[in-house]
């Protein structure tokens, strides 16, 4: 039975939203892993310990998580163009101000607070907007958008390494800040909240049947969602997942340097993980549309666990490349699957706020683990115990996912 009928336009605007999201992800999440490269420069110049240097990143992701909730809530109510323009001004400003730091409090303020606030607009509001434009193709389109993050993670470490080598880390931060502000704000202007704003339907459909998945609009409120078992299982899973990801993002580069591997080769590990994450994003995003989000995430987390167990014995270049490949696939896949999982479990009414809340729970883990592992290194002179802990965390994340009911 037909419940709605609308004219097909020349172009479904959801694809433009996907392209804009792709560009935002490319730059914002491509730059995030480069903290590990700047990490070595900053700790060397200022003599900060690895725990202290990691602390700024931890504050960054914690602020990122808190403002992700705010950004998601604002995006549920207002235009994403307005919301994200504010965030992206702060994003570029945070990076630009990093070129002026001379003390630890400036480092924590500029990177931890200002840039962390700007990061609040790069994931939750963007993917929540995209989720409203697709239902049947939500997994694959989210995967395509997240390919931008993978391409950024592949290219930005090389760009950053070249800028630092050629012009110094201060000028590198200034260039990154100004360029990112202009590009991100420009991309945000192409975002529209949902298809109904321009008389279109999700997925570009022209007719909706009463039993069509495109009727998946309503859902739980945030208050209702946080009283469900599913919410806390997904949040717990993402907490332990982010414990793993943030530790690797910060410490794999200095770990490779400690093993006597040249800096240029260590940069390749970050880039390789980013490159392979592209495959993970597309493959797992497409797979989720076929086999469901739950099974796709379990497969993804299992691969992550294998990669982290392998890291415990990896002490040669080829072994670290294999680690980067396995880790990169898993890393890319999970970030693609989370937003569609939230939409499937809780609907779209409060998707931004619920997604932001779960994302924040994950980033609490991301804020704790880099400092903890950095402290373990400062005390023991080795990353081995820290890497054991994150391998255990990945196994716990997988176990939590098994307990989630299919919808």
The three-class DSSP label of residue 340 is helix
List, for residues 371-405, the tens digit of each pLDDT value.
Answer: 899 899 989 999 999 999 999 999 999 999 998 87
Break the chain down into helix, strand, coil percent, rounded to 5: 80, 0, 15
Tokens of 350: 């409060």
Separation between Cα atoms, residue 367 and residue 371, nearest integer Å: 7
Q: Please name every residue paired with 5 in a beta bridge, in sequence order, or none if there are none.
A: 207
Tokens of 113: 């607070």
Domain 10-196+213-402 classification at class level: mainly alpha
Q: What is the pLDDT of residue 407?
A: 63
HSE (side-chain half, CA atoms, 13 Å) at 240? 21
The three-class DSSP label of residue 190 is coil
Residues 6 or more apart whose Cβ sits within 8 Å of residue 180: 27, 28, 31, 88, 91, 92, 95
Average pLDDT score over residue span 140-144: 84
HSE (side-chain half, CA atoms, 13 Å) at 42? 31
Residues 6 or more apart whose Cβ sits within 8 Å of residue 159: none
Task: Spell out the domain ranges in the chain.
Answer: 10-196+213-402
Q: Please name every residue paired with 2 in a beta bridge, in sequence order, or none if there are none.
A: 209
Backbone angle region of 389, left / alpha / beta, with phi > 0 → left and psi within -120 to 50 → alpha: alpha
Task: Let me know: does 339 contact 130? Beta carbons within 8 Å.
Answer: yes
Q: Is the pTM of this model over 0.85?
A: no
List, for residues 188-225, the tens digit of each pLDDT value.
Answer: 999 988 888 888 888 777 655 444 444 445 678 888 98
* Geometric angle at alpha carbon 361, from 14 and 93, rounded to 5°: 65
Helical ranges in 168-262 per DSSP H: 169-188, 222-225, 229-258
Q: Is 406 exposed, middle or buried (0-12, 13-18, 19+ CB in 10 A)?
A: exposed
Lowest pLDDT segment from 142-151, 180-189, 239-248, 253-262:
142-151
Q: What is the pLDDT of residue 174?
A: 95
Separation between Cα atoms, residue 203 and residue 146, nearest integer Å: 18
For residue 65, pLDDT over 80 is answered with yes
Task: Let me know: does 288 contact 139? Beta carbons within 8 Å.
Answer: yes
The continuous run of DSSP H or E covering 200 comes out as: none
Separation between Cα atoms, residue 255 and residue 249, nearest integer Å: 11
Task: Let me know: does 279 contact 329? Beta carbons within 8 Å.
Answer: yes
For residue 144, pLDDT over 60 is answered with yes
Task: Let me know: does 386 contact 372? Beta carbons within 8 Å.
Answer: yes
Lowest pLDDT segment from 39-43, 216-220, 235-239, 337-341:
216-220
Over the chain, what is the mean pLDDT? Answer: 86
Closest listed residue to residue 272, CA positions, set 153, 387, 148:
153
Separation between Cα atoms, residue 35 and residue 26, nearest integer Å: 16
Average pLDDT score over residue span 28-36: 82
List, for residues 269-287, the tens digit of each pLDDT value.
Answer: 777 887 888 888 888 888 8
């Amino acid at each position: 039975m037909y419940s709605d009928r609308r004219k097909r336009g020349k172009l479904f605007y959801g694809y433009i939203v996907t392209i804009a999201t792709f560009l935002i992800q490319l730059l914002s999440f491509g730059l995030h892993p480069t903290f590990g490269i700047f990490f070595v420069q900053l700790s060397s110049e200022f003599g900060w310990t690895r725990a202290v240097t990691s602390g700024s990143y931890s504050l960054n992701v914690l602020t990122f998580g808190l403002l992700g909730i705010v950004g998601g809530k604002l995006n549920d109510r207002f235009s994403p163009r307005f919301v994200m323009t504010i965030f992206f001004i702060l994003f570029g400003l945070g990076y630009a101000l990093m070129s002026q730091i001379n003390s630890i409090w400036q480092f924590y303020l500029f990177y931890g607070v200002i840039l962390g606030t700007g990061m609040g607009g790069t994931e939750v509001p963007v993917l929540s907007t995209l989720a409203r434009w697709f239902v049947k193709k939500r997994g694959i389109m989210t995967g395509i958008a997240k390919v931008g993050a993978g391409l950024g993670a592949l290219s930005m470490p090389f760009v950053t390494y070249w800028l630092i080598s050629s012009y110094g880390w201060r000028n590198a931060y200034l260039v990154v800040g100004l360029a990112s502000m202009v590009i991100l704000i420009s991309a945000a202007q192409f975002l529209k909240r949902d298809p109904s704003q321009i008389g279109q339907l999700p997925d570009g459909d022209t007719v909706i049947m009463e039993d069509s998945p495109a009727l998946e609009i309503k859902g739980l409120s945030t208050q209702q969602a946080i009283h469900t078992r599913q919410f806390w299982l997904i949040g717990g899973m993402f907490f332990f997942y982010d414990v793993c990801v943030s530790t690797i993002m910060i410490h794999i580069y200095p770990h490779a340097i400690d093993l006597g591997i040249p800096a240029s080769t260590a940069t390749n590990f970050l880039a390789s993980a980013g490159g392979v994450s592209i495959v993970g994003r597309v493959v797992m995003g497409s797979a989720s549309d076929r086999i469901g989000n739950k099974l796709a995430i379990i497969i993804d987390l299992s691969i992550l666990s294998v990669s982290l167990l392998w890291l415990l014995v990896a002490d040669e270049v080829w072994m670290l490349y294999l680690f980067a490949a396995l880790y990169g696939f898993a890393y890319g896949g999970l970030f693609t699957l989370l937003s569609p999982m939230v939409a499937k479990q809780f609907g779209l009414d409060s998707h931004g706020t619920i997604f932001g809340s779960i994302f924040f729970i994950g980033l609490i883990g991301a804020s704790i683990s880099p400092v903890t592992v950095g402290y373990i290194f400062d005390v023991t002179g080795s990353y081995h115990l820290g890497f054991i802990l994150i391998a255990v965390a990945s196994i716990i994340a997988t176990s939590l996912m098994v307990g989630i009911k299919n919808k």
